[in-house]
Amino acid sequence: MTARTTTGVEPSLEQFEAAAAAFLRERRVPKIDRAQHWGIGSDAVDLFETDADDASAPGVIAARDWQREKAEAGYGWISGPPEVGGGGLPTTYQVAFNRLESQYEVPDPTPLTLGLHLIRPTVAAWSTGDLRQHMSRALTRGEVLGCQLFSETEAGSDLASVRTSARRDGDDWVVSGQKIWTSNAHIADVGLLLCRTGDTGARHKNLTMFVVDMTTPGVTIRRITQMTGAASFNEVTFDAVRIPDSRRLGAVDAGWKVAMSTITSERSAIGGGEASNPIDVNLLLEMVRRYGTRDSLTLDLLARARIAITVAEAFADRCTEQMLSGELNPAMFSVSKLLLTDSLRKVSELVDHVLGPRIVADTGEWGAYAWRLIGLEISAYSVGGGSDEIQRNTVAERCLGLPR
């Protein structure tokens, strides 16, 4: 049984879960509890996928193959619109599949995350015709990788200040400008591009969204090496790049609404379950047991980290429940994201204290040096999808009703 039965009848949630569980059992192996099998396999605790130099990297290929396999079985976009290849089932079914899948060893989905959770819903909501049909289905099958071309050197948290311009020229738009900190642009096939199409003084009113082919002449991608040694961020420049008007999303000068829908999707992915618990809690507790002591400071830091993780997980579950019931204020995802980031900071403080020199130099001890990336990568969580400061403004204005 796929997401829908062969007769087109919606299966019950129990039927769906049974079929999904059988699908996963046939194709994947269950995850092992690394805390109970200490020293076996990888001890990696990265918050993000290990860097991929290009789209031919083994991890990227594995992620695409698994996504295609899920799509062929009807699990590629379970809750998506049927007219663009989705399953048309309630979001509860997608949540159920995600929970089942999390119990199995599957390829890291990071190369596909932006395409599936940001670009696909935006294209499905704001485009028409061949673009909507082809792009949505290609993303669902893992045939197309995407990136988000929003941030600029002077328009990061203040997204309305973007300067990359798009000028109409017949049936095309000519784009010039620069984007920065673009995750996975070097492996992406397409990018979601926000441009200014009018007077810069108008800010929110003169922005337009496009889908750009990253191989278009005039697009230059330069990788940025991060402090972890990876280079998944990029600088992307546009030198008179021509984009057909058929690749425009939404109305001309109405790109702010399109961008806000994309950002809502991003924040829901980060704060609502897709990345709600990147920490293996059992592995963390076992690491503290093996390398830590029972001094008061260690116990205090451990308690703070464990409480923060529990609160973040509980609030993410609450957001999911409210989303399924249709009662969710989207600004609640900002609260969830702040709680997630706070929990990661507390984990980082605990890890630094317990491991000490082991986190600076690799002693060869399993489950020690690998934790160093938590402290280095946490900044990406506090910036991605809107900085912590922007999230707090959102909560203040849209949840608490405070003035701007």
Q: Which residues are catalytic?
A: 266
- Partner residues linked to 152 by β-bridges: 155
Helix axes 13-27, 91-101, angle to 10 degrees: 30
Of 139, 47, 23, the C-alpha closest to 377 is 47
Helix axes 296-325, 332-355, angle to 10 degrees: 160
CA distance 386 to 334: 9
Geometric angle at alpha carbon 114, from 376 and 126, rounded to 5°:
145
In degrees and rounded to multiples of 5, residue 218 shows phi and psi of 100, -10
Q: Which residue has the tokens 């509980």?
A: 314
CA distances from 323 to 119, 372, 384, 385, 402 (A): 20, 35, 22, 19, 24
Q: Which residue has the tokens 């992406």?
A: 188
Q: Tell which phi-psi region holds residue 183, choosing left (phi > 0), alpha (psi between -120 and 50) or beta.
A: beta
CA distance 48 to 98: 18
Of 83, 71, 195, the C-alpha closest to 144 is 71
284: exposed, middle or buried (Cβ count in 10 Å: 0-12, 13-18, 19+): buried
Q: Are strands 248-249 and 207-213 parallel, antiparallel or unpaired?
A: antiparallel
Buried b (16+ CB within 10 A) or exposed e, 378-397: bebbbbbbbebebbebbbee
CA distance 134 to 400: 41
